[in-house]
Amino acid sequence: MQELVGRITALDPVASESLRVISYFDALVEGHASAEALLRGASVLSGCASGFVAGDTVVRVDASGIRTAQPDVTAADRWPSHVVGEDWRAWIEREGAAHANDEMVLERLSIGLGICLERTHPVAIARRNLEILIDSAEPAENRAIAADRLRLGADIARIAAAPALEPVAAGTRGIIVTTSVGRVRAVLVTGDSAVLPHRLGIGIPVIPTGLARSWQTALLALRMSGPAEPVVDAGELGSLLLLAEAADANATPQPDVIAIEQLVQVDARSLEQLDLIARAESIRAAALASGVHHSTMQARVVDYGDRLGFDLRSSHGRVRLDLALRLYRLATTRFS
């Protein structure tokens, strides 16, 4: 590295300083430096104060490398900052125009802090244990150890699934999981968990070592949620859960789902109307909720039924429609 720096210095002094920054932080990481030591390094290299916030933990050192007694938790919002891991941030307090290597210092500081915090921070340790608990490939003894570390005991618990980009209540214990349908947040739900008032799939209740199963059902429930039903509890689906699992495992498209997909491609508003028809107690109730005349809704129901291939006016037809809509969302829902 030193030979490379020497060669590049003659060609590009700025690039050589960037390599020195990388080498400096690599040495700190290899030496298992603490978060405070990494911040002191950033302050020395940048000549200004630096800090990081990780959950309830806030650490700041001034330009001389001295730790501040009462750091400002909002500092990351006011200065150039960089994400550390999933939702933590590091910053440097540069006054005026940025220096050439500020971004490099921030990047290497963030990488170093991420490695350090994953090894030492209680939140990161809890996340790793939750990852073990929801992984069905993990041996039973590993899941039992993870449950014990999370102090779950023998109490019944659940996993809730939410879109990764949606905020969750403060204090929740969760991780971001990359799934076949995108990035999803897995949240541990116990008796004292905070309320989660967002779009949600709630897994079946299990003992802690069975949370992998709860996670699987929570993800299925989330995929079947939508504007008309933003929260779906897998424990309340009954036999619909078995049907959803069977459909999800079957590569052959279900005919009713294909029919709904074709209808939505022609008329995007039809999905909202079909949801309304499936959930209303009667056609008259659907008309009232939609703000149209009863005869208009009656004609709409007949038209949709003709296009889907079954009668939506009967109780059997509405049950079939409700199931088809759930399976349609299961097949088409994706998350960023």
Look at the chain and count its residues: 336
User: Under DSSP, is residue 245 helix (H, G, I), strand (E, B) or coil?
Assistant: helix
Residue 55 corresponds to which amino acid? G
Least confident of 8-22, 58-72, 133-147: 8-22
Is the distance from CB of 140 to CB of 57 less than 8 angstroms? no
Cβ within 8 Å of residue 24, ≥6 positions away: 41, 45, 108
Look up the pTM and report it: 0.73
173: enclosing H helix or E strand: strand 173-179
Phi, psi for 204 (deg, rounded to 5)? -70, 150
Q: Note the pLDDT tens digit of each residue in 305-325.
A: 999 999 999 989 999 999 999
Q: Note the pLDDT tens digit of each residue in 259-289.
A: 999 999 999 889 999 999 999 888 888 889 8
Question: Quick one: average pLDDT of 125-136?
Answer: 93
| pLDDT cut 70: percent of the chain above it | 92
Tokens describing residue 310: 């079954």
- Give the DSSP letter string of 27-60: HHHHTT--HHHHHHHHHHHHSS-EEEEETTEEEE
| Sign of the four-CA dihedral 185, 191, 194, 197 | positive
| Average pLDDT, rounded, for the chain | 87
Is the distance from CB of 279 to CB of 322 less than 8 angstroms? yes
Question: Quick one: average pLDDT of 234-262?
Answer: 94
Tokens describing residue 28: 């700190």
Residue 91, beta-bridge partner list: 51, 81
Closest CA to 22 of 125, 77, 141, 103: 103
Lookup result for tokens 């291939």: 309
For the chain, which domains are there?
2-120 (no CATH), 124-248 (no CATH), 251-332 (1.10.10)
| Secondary structure percentages of the chain, helix, strand, coil, to 5 | 55, 15, 30
How would residue 10 be classed by pLDDT, with cut points 50, 70 and 90? Answer: very low
Q: For position 80, what pLDDT does the model report?
A: 86
Q: For position 98, what pLDDT does the model report?
A: 86
pLDDT at 21 over 50: yes
pLDDT at 86 over 70: no
pLDDT at 12 over 60: no
Tokens describing residue 283: 């056609």
Residue 189 corresponds to which amino acid? V
- C-alpha triplet 72, 85, 102: angle, nearest 5°: 65
How would residue 16 be classed by pLDDT, with cut points 50, 70 and 90? Answer: low
Phi, psi for 46 (deg, rounded to 5)? -95, -20
Buried b (16+ CB within 10 A) or exposed e, 63-99: eebeeeeebeeebbeebbbbebbeebbbbbbbeeeeb
Taking the C-alpha atoms of residue 192 and residue 169, their distance in angstroms, rounded to an integer, is 13
How would residue 15 be classed by pLDDT, with cut points 50, 70 and 90? Answer: low
